[in-house]
């Protein structure tokens, strides 16, 4: 009888763990795709390790593509939501829009659509903000950065104001192209995200 109760208890514990497990979908560009690096060194892989070490059973799906824009992410998102049914969607897009000089208003529209689609599917949303180098001009860089804060306020969603905080502009933490974070910076990227991400799990 004791063996039966023990087995039943273990089964219930496993069921509870499985019920608590969710899927975290990351839709991003080269920064989350670990461009130029072994993907096992990227911040997303470090996130998977952190989740396991802290006892979370959540599955991470990295749907990031190098070179992707907010328009590309918007086009890909419906199929990703249907396939993975995530509980949390992390949006890390916009850098390529800015580097191509695209209108901040269009970026905001695309990201807003992605936020609405994610929520309609039942997922929470975490937005990772980006900023541009000063050589793009004060007016443009300001308008670009404000896209993320405007969306966070309008949609009432959590925001990491600048995903590359403490990394961008530091040559010791960037790859030779000056655009993509080096392997040594990936832990810092995770630390930038983790305090805002953890309460959403």
- Sequence-ordered list of residues with C-beta below 8 angstroms from that of 133, at least 6 positions apart, any chain: 141, 168, 169
CA distance 15 to 117: 30
- Locate 51 and state its tokens: 């989740």
Helix (H, G, I), strand (E, B) or coil at 70: helix
CA distance 167 to 186: 9
Catalytic residue among 38, 53, 172, 177: 177
Give the largest Cα separation in the chain, rounded.
74
Residue 68: active-site member: no
CA distance 152 to 128: 10
Q: Scanning the structure block, which residue is given the tokens 């009888």? A: 1
Helices (H), ranges, 85-137: 95-99, 104-120
Residue 84: active-site member: no
Catalytic residue among 30, 45, 64, 70: 30
Residue 177: active-site member: yes
- Locate 186 and state its tokens: 């990936």
DSSP 158: -
Residues forming the active site: 30, 177, 180
């Amino acid at each position: 009888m004791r063996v039966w109760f023990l087995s039943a208890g273990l089964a219930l514990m496993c069921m509870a763990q499985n019920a608590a497990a969710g899927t975290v979908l990351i839709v991003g560009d080269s920064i989350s795709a670990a461009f130029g690096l072994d993907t096992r060194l990227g911040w997303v892989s470090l996130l998977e390790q952190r989740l396991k070490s802290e006892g979370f059973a959540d599955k991470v799906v990295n749907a990031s593509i190098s070179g992707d824009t907010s328009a590309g992410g918007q086009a890909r998102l419906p199929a990703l939501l249907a396939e993975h049914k995530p509980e949390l969607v992390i949006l890390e897009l916009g850098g390529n829009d800015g580097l191509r000089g695209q209108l901040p208003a269009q970026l905001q529209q695309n990201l807003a659509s992605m936020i609405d689609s994610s929520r309609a599917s039942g997922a929470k949303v975490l937005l990772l903000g980006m900023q541009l180098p000063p050589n793009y001009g004060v007016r443009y860089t300001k308008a670009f950065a404000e896209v993320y804060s405007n969306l966070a306020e309008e949609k009432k969603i959590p925001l990491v104001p600048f995903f590359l905080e403490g990394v961008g502009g530091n040559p010791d933490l960037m790859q030779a192209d000056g655009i993509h974070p080096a392997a040594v910076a990936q832990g810092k990227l995770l630390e930038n995200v983790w305090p805002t991400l953890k309460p959403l799990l």
